[in-house]
Chain A
Amino acid sequence: MSSASITPPPPKPPVQPKPFVIHKERTRFFGLTLDETIRAFFGGNAFMAVVVLALITIFLFREGSAFFGQNRASITLYRTAGLEYVDYMRAQQEGHTALTRYLFDIRLRAVRHLTENEALSVAEANAKLAAFDEFAGRYSDTIEPVRGFVSDLTDVAVAIKEKYTINEDAKTERAQFLATGMTAEADAVKIAEIDFKAELAPLVGVTPMYVEAANGVATAINDVLATAPALPVPSLESRMTRFKELNREYLATFPETQRKLETWDYLKPVPALDTVTGFLFGKQWLTASFWQDWYGLVPLFVGSLMVSIIALFLAVPLGVGAAIYINQFAGLREQRIIKPAIEFISAIPSVVLGFFGIAVLGQALRALSQWEALSWVPGFPFSERLNALTAGCLLALIAVPTIFTLAEDALNNVPRSFKEASFALGASRMQTILRIIVPASLSGIVSAVLLGLGRVIGETMVVLLCAGNRIAIPDFTQGFTAFVQPVHTMTGIIAQEMGEVVRGEIHYRALFMVGLVLFFIALLINFLAQKIVRKYRISIG
């Protein structure tokens, strides 16, 4: 057809080539053309993500960093005001209280044994235990001398602390007056310098007497133990032996306490590092106490960890199982319904789930746990409605959609050829899935689980409403019952206490430090998840 279009050459006029203009002066702002300015504008917006991340770090630090200084001051005061000294004694007293409780526990078991196994009435059982009760009474009285010391000295130490606090307040007031130029008012503020040495004299002065008293207690305990009666229930004899053993251990700590008391020095400086380790590894989170506030992360961290473990324990099999089912077995119609439905679950606001936990799930779980047929389940039955298990179950519902979606993606990314090759070798569908597809997408699944963990550990409302909010490290010696005890979490404590603290105070700062720890944990989890995913991409090739 092209040959048909031959035309005689057109007469060619001698045209001057027209100017080929490809230069153009564009309007410039600060040396940038309009387009470059727009680009810079968008770039600035994109940089926002970096800025926000930096700002989060900065502001958490800004509000939280003063915590360590304040905490150090607080601990220093704890020492200089003699609170620490009294606490040494108190520890001794509490050791004894714990042992008394042990005795009481033995009695409880004995009564149960007598009434249930030997079908005695309560009165008869009590009668049988009269000798034991007399012994327990004498045992619990042995500590009285120490108790007297502790209660007296507590008052002394608190008075010193009080005095110091009042003085500090006066100093601030005076500084404020001076700052505003009101010298007359400033002078009117009375500041009595505290002579700690003199104030502490009544404390330190009693050391020899106390040591004597403590030794007396030790002798008394040994005397009482020597007259321990035989139990009416032979099966509890082993516990009694254990009790005596515990007593020996307890008495062995006496010389150490004595040494601590004698060498105690109110001026011994508190190392700066102690405040950091005290925060990260402290086992007590105790606030608004008349005695001494402690900010230890461990109970909160353990609480967060426990609910997360429960949640993942439930969510991983469910999420991954559902992902495998949907990806490998379900028909197209089933997929089309279930995938959006699970996505939909992720849209349920956590506060609604928390409310559901309070209103329904907590009681339902408790009722379930008290069902006879399930009493073999570790930890069952339990009596607390709101506990780590309740929160963990709800968190599982939050984590499942995350894990499901990401795991499904990972499964989807396995090349078809892997599957086909396996089928061609005569493997069954399940063999293919378990031996080829799941291993090939394993790192994707692991990172899905990690991101689910991130989701769970950062979740606030559910744990705030359903975890029971008791700030204590659960008692792991009882095995699985630890998981049905109320706990408090890092997210929960921030949400709960932030509204009630005074801005700038140590408690306020401590909450920001918890936030910072949470932030870094989240970053760490994210980092690990990304690292695993990246590795996985390479392995697929």
Chain B
Amino acid sequence: MSEPLNPFASKPSRSRAFEKVILGLFRVATYFVLLCGVIVFADIVFKGAPTVARAFKTTSTFPYVTNTFLFTAPESLYVFEHDGEKKEMGDKEYRAFREAEEAKALAAGQPAPKFKAESYVYSAGGIWPAIVGTVLLVVGSMTIALFLGVCSAIFLNEYAKDGPVVRFIRLAILNLAGVPSIVFGLFGFGMFVIFFGWNVSLMAGWFTLAFMVLPVVITASEESLKAVPKGFREGSLALGATKWQTIRKNVLPYALPGILTSSILGIARVAGETAPIMFTAAYVVRDKLPWEIEKASDFFFQGVMALPYHIYVVSSKIPQNEYTARVQYGTAFVFLGIVALIAAASIILRNKLRSRYQW
């Protein structure tokens, strides 16, 4: 050992090796979580996308292309053998086919053909009413939640002075955020459906969902309001503006983009929840679309189909086989796609906004 000894040279030791192992474990944990997410995502995308892709059909009218999965109502699927061929048909198509065959046989003077079909509910057709219902639920409940939430946030951030009442309100908001969604469902059922007599309706669903996301919206709004510099308020007030003028002209306009962006995450939550709408707004199946109503007020008091509930129904109430898997995966794919888009939009927009608004 003629080399001069460097006192700062790194010394290999067992503790170093141990550290490397621990670091490796942490890294594995991180990537394992991501992997799980990716697996769920990939499974649903790969098995669900073909259902949607296969359903593109050309039509004779504008816009000349439609998607039978996205834009039609669910039907029962009939699987049967005819002339040695295995056929799968939706409810309407099957009936028409049968009548045509029977008529053909009758014309030829033969006995009517026998059909032995297995049927699977909801496994043919599409999910259009569920998409419409989900959109309606999201729009209505977010309108209510944004109104209530932004107003609450304005009070808490702009008007309220710290005191027992405000602390109590904040505590309530914090606790409301932890209430399980099924409890919101029960509450909505007890209050809106029964006590107010709204029955299973859009209104009941809207309010239930709105109350559920309220804490999310309040927190998001408050953060955005806090991000508006104090100087804007003081400057305005020093010019003789009233508090409300200051808020309306000089605070809200600058907080609004932030409020809306962060609230998108609330949208993802509203769209994704099943439990609160199970007994308040969702129907297993409904033939009419929400706008096919007799009078305008019926609109608010009608139940709707909803994507998450539809997934629950098709995944728990019908058997699992190759015929039903298509609609199951297809619905899950469309739903996951919608929610993922919303969530991605929220995350990207928020990051953009963070870098843009720096006063």
A–B direct contact (CB < 8 Å): yes
Q: Which residues of A contact B (CB under 8 A)?
A: 34-35, 38-39, 41-43, 45-50, 52-53, 55-56, 59-60, 62-63, 317-319, 321-322, 324-326, 329-330, 338, 340-345, 347-356, 358-360, 397, 400, 404, 428-430, 434, 451, 454, 457-461, 464-465, 491, 494-495, 498-499, 503, 511-512, 515, 518-519, 522-523, 525-527, 530
B343 within 8 A of A: yes
Answer whether A38 and B244 are a contact pair too, CB < 8 Å, given A49-B152, A355-B315, A498-B186: yes
Closest to A523 in B: B175
Cα(A341)–Cα(B309), bound, Å: 26
| Cβ contacts under 8 Å, B153 to chain A | 46
Q: Indicate which residue in A62, A359, A460 contacts B274 across the interface (CB closer than 8 Å).
A: A460
B312 within 8 A of A: yes
Cα(A464)–Cα(B351), bound, Å: 36
Query: Can you offer 29 A-B residue contacts whose CB atoms are under 8 A?
Result: A35-B242, A42-B155, A45-B148, A52-B214, A56-B179, A59-B187, A318-B29, A330-B30, A345-B36, A348-B40, A349-B272, A349-B336, A349-B339, A352-B336, A358-B320, A359-B43, A397-B36, A428-B15, A451-B178, A454-B180, A458-B180, A498-B278, A499-B278, A503-B194, A519-B183, A522-B179, A523-B175, A526-B177, A526-B178
B325 within 8 A of A: yes
- Residues B25 and A321 in contact, CB atoms below 8 Å apart: yes
| Cβ contacts under 8 Å, A34 to chain B | 242, 244
Cα(A416)–Cα(B154), bound, Å: 34
CB distance from A519 to the nearest CB of B (A): 5
Closest to B312 in A: A351
- Residues B27 and A325 in contact, CB atoms below 8 Å apart: yes
B156 within 8 A of A: yes
- Interface contacts (Cβ under 8 Å), in number, total 266
- Residues A342 and B191 in contact, CB atoms below 8 Å apart: no
Q: Indicate which residue in A38, A499, A522 contacts B178 across the interface (CB closer than 8 Å).
A: A522
Interface size of B by CB at 8 A reads: 90
Closest to B153 in A: A46
Cα(A348)–Cα(B342), bound, Å: 11
Answer whether A47 and B26 are a contact pair too, CB < 8 Å, given A34-B244, A53-B175, A355-B332: no
| Cβ contacts under 8 Å, A498 to chain B | 185-186, 189, 278-279
Which of B82-90, B122-130, B165-173, B227-235 binds A? B165-173
- Residues A52 and B176 in contact, CB atoms below 8 Å apart: yes
Cα(A34)–Cα(B244), bound, Å: 9
Answer whether A430 and B37 are a contact pair too, CB < 8 Å, given A34-B244, A49-B176, A458-B183: no
| Cβ contacts under 8 Å, A430 to chain B | 18-19, 22-23
Cα(A404)–Cα(B30), bound, Å: 10
- Residues B159 and A43 in contact, CB atoms below 8 Å apart: yes
Choose among B159, B183, B265, B275 the residue with the greatest number of A CB atoms under 10 Å from its CB: B183
- Residues B274 and A526 in contact, CB atoms below 8 Å apart: no
- Residues A353 and B40 in contact, CB atoms below 8 Å apart: yes
- Residues A343 and B172 in contact, CB atoms below 8 Å apart: no
Closest to B310 in A: A351
Cα(A503)–Cα(B195), bound, Å: 12
